[in-house]
Structure 1
Amino acid sequence: MASPNFEIFVPDFIKNSTVYFAIVTDLEGVYQYVNKRFQARFDFLGSDFIGKSFMVGIHPDDHLICLETVKSCLAHPGRIVPVFLRKPVKGQKEHVWSHWEFSTLLDENQVPLGVLCIGHDITDAEKATRKAQELAERVETILEEISDGFLHLGVNMEIRRINSKFERLFELDRKDILGKSAPELEGKGFNENLLQKLSTIFLENQLAVFEEFLVPSKKWVLITVYPSNAGLTCFIRDITEEKRRKAHIELSENKLKAVYDSTVDSNLLIGLEGEILNFNRVANETSLRTKGKELTLGSSIEDFLPEDSLEGFRENFPRALEGNQVQIEVLRYLRGVPYWFEVSYFPVRDASGSLMGVAMNIKDINARKLTELELKESQGMLNAIYNSTSEAWFFLDKELKIKSSNKAAKLLTQSLLGRPMTIGESFLDFPHLNSTKEVASYLKQVIAGSKINFQKFQDSRWWDILMEPVFDSERSEIIGVSYIMKDISLMKENEDRILKQNELLKEITWYQSHGLRRYVANILALCDLVINYSQDSEQEREEFISMILAESKNLDSLIHKIVALSSHADLRFEK
């Protein structure tokens, strides 16, 4: 399957942005797309990021944070996950601080394709924060220089310090609020939700980042809160423009999702009045080939359809608007050559469930049609294989009538009946190894879903009988029985031969493991007695030697017996 074109998931204004970074990675974390802003800012890492691991541009200490963010993103495909990451600066030990938003890219089947990452440089704000913490004597100047709003709350939530940006965002004058408790200003810039979040952060003593809507200025802000023993230090960034752009991205994603969730070929999203809302690259190329002009948003789809397609469109488009899914096959002649297409119409609804238009998909199925012809040819080959097996094979319907049988089955019935059984004849008319009543009982169990396999000795031959249910193409219903008979006489003969050999080998093994060991043990013990005999008992020594000779004769006799047994055992297996 061809790799997806990840670039189509990135809106044009992000691609050409001079503010925002945009990258797309696949599920393996490999760069598949970077925008011009990202390439220009980090070109010292390499002239081409595509194909490299996205970790090359991330501070090593932030690798784990980045991986956890990706995991969270993939676990919640519909959610945008924010994260702060450090990136390297050429020739310096410092790093660029950046804020990113990760979101999962999904294909038409809701299967994750990769991760879209939109970010921007927040190094200035981060540096300002550090200067504010390290250089207390310059804090007022620094805070006024930064582009973010600044708020410092004491341990009792009293307002100790703000900057001009904060005054503009909250529409408050510092001389009216410095020294006052933030809860006293509820309804005047500080809403209940914001006050609750600030109190929780102070109690938990954990850095937090969250978004808040400021009613007085009607601004969306991103608030970063640093708790300390001295209170809370807050940096407030105006993200109203980002919210607007994000909404634009989400709208574009919804349109793209509507198209690409429908099919993977030539796709168009058509509005309720027949106007073109969106289209993919293949659809535009098709229009250029067939009509000589590119598709344009807002134009009527009928202006771009071939003349011989208009009637079908006018018939099926209203049906899709009524909520029906329509799929038809269409034969076209391209330069005199017949060519098959599949045209589908799908109703498309927005997040609220309202009908927003129709997705039209045009799919090239010419290869599939040609394959169908090849399959017919292959069917003949399968039949040849079916008839070449030595097993007698019958296919019976649920009434136990013969629907099909192979060549071996016909020869078997010919030898037993004097004629081959014909299609439609009852299988119970066949002389079976078991009684007809027993066979009928077996077949009834198979039709109920059981599988039966047994072996039977009849007329000096062994037979293996296998009965299995046959299902339809969707395996939802049993449509008959597969009945297979196989002559296994040779296999049985070999089994009997092997069993006899095994018995003889067991006997030989017993003699070797028990008989030989006994005589050898006795001889060794007697030899030890001879070696250690007393000089005063020569008669005893001679008795030991006589006993050794006797045990040796016993041992020799047993060895002759083992050799005799082995000579009678045919240890070769002939297939």
Structure 2
Amino acid sequence: MLNIGENQIILSSKPTILLSLEEKNISVDLGNPLPDWIFNSGLFYVVITDMEGKYLYVNDFFIKKFQSVDTDISNKYFTETIIAEDIEKAIVAATKCIQHPTYAFEVDLRKPIGKGQQTFHSRWVFSLMRNNQNIPIGIFSVGYEINSVSEINDYKIFHNLNIFKILKNSADSCVHLSKKLELEGINKSASKFMGISDENAKDTFKEKLQIKENTPCVDAIISSVNTDKVELFQDHIENLDLYYFGIAIPDKQGVGIIFRDNTREQKAKIRLQESENKLKAILDSTSDCIILINQEFNILAFNKVAFNMCHGIHQNKLVLGKDFREYVSEEIKNDFFENFTIALNGSISKFEQKLTQEDGTHKWLEYVFYPVYDASQQLIGVSKVVKDITESKNQIAKIQAQYEKLKEIAWVQSHEVRSPLANIMGLIEMLKNERSNLKEEEIESLYNNLLLEAEKLDLKIRKITKSTEEHLESDS
């Protein structure tokens, strides 16, 4: 528990900020006090650590990303949850915050996903957090994914945050425009990307904006200003064969635009799409249910069998990009997460489930989890393959039943038949050797015993014959 004046931040199994920022008296140099929305953000990860670096608070977006695969950060230090090579960078950034309490410091960190060897690239802004007596009490960190722009749900939440000031020194390109679309600020990354020098920057930008009229980028900027909503865009500069994506964020003064070159990723997607079309035809021809899930549990691909099976079992349609955990039933939840984690660690795993159908019959499904890698051997997710193994299970049960029947026949042959046969052989031997010494009534008794043992033997042979016939009928 962290006390800030009379207020408290409580860390539980699912941390929750209980009080508004005004009540917390948190002081961080971001131009404006941080609004409450940032703690519930779907774009930024929020972390608060104490002065020793131990976790005190993480927001729900952080939990969803980094605690989804059996990871518990309670009583851990921030440095324990980043790769070893980046620990020194995190310590340096935190130390700078303490030495310069009125400044924020940016640092790129890599965090492991689940228990696997894959890493998540993220950018963080560290600031010193102080109480209302101006005493340092911890490090306040805001981070976001470097590789892609996250989907945002609540658009108006950005109005109280000066995005440009936060990202002014970011490696991401960032510009700020007035409501009249005049350039108010541009960081070094954007200047380099757009080829705009400090001299006559406003005029140069205005010309470039006019040249790109009616493009996705400009349309997103104009729409953001007019509708007061965040707009995502993907654009392409044909003469340079350059792809980039970005986000336009409206604020009280105008609109901030963050964009990033993703030519490499887009060209990879184009090549992937070409191969996907061929692969999809192959996948749709199989009778197995196949679903590709990334490390964040988002659905990347599935075949027709998977779509039909999911709709039949869950009455829910598979949708690309959705969180697959919504489709995991309670009956297999524990097995699913256990085997998914094993696959993330690079091993193949599987389990079976028995289903009772409406007609009372049983259906068996086998779930197999495969780690999936790209061409550079980087883990991109897990392939979940579901096979109907009912026929195989029935065959195994049938073979087991046959085996038990054969064991029964073998027992009768080796034990129950042997006894009367041994008696008969003993009586015959006695008649053969002792006949001359036996009285007539003794000989008659021996013959009667021979007949009795022969009848017993006949019954055992009939039993074996019947079991063998039943066994042969079951085979047919």
Please give the TM-score of this superposition, normalised by the length of structure 1. Answer: 0.32
Structure with max Cα Rg: 1
Please give the TM-score of this superposition, normalised by the length of structure 2. Answer: 0.39
Higher relative contact order (CA 8 A, sep 6+): 2
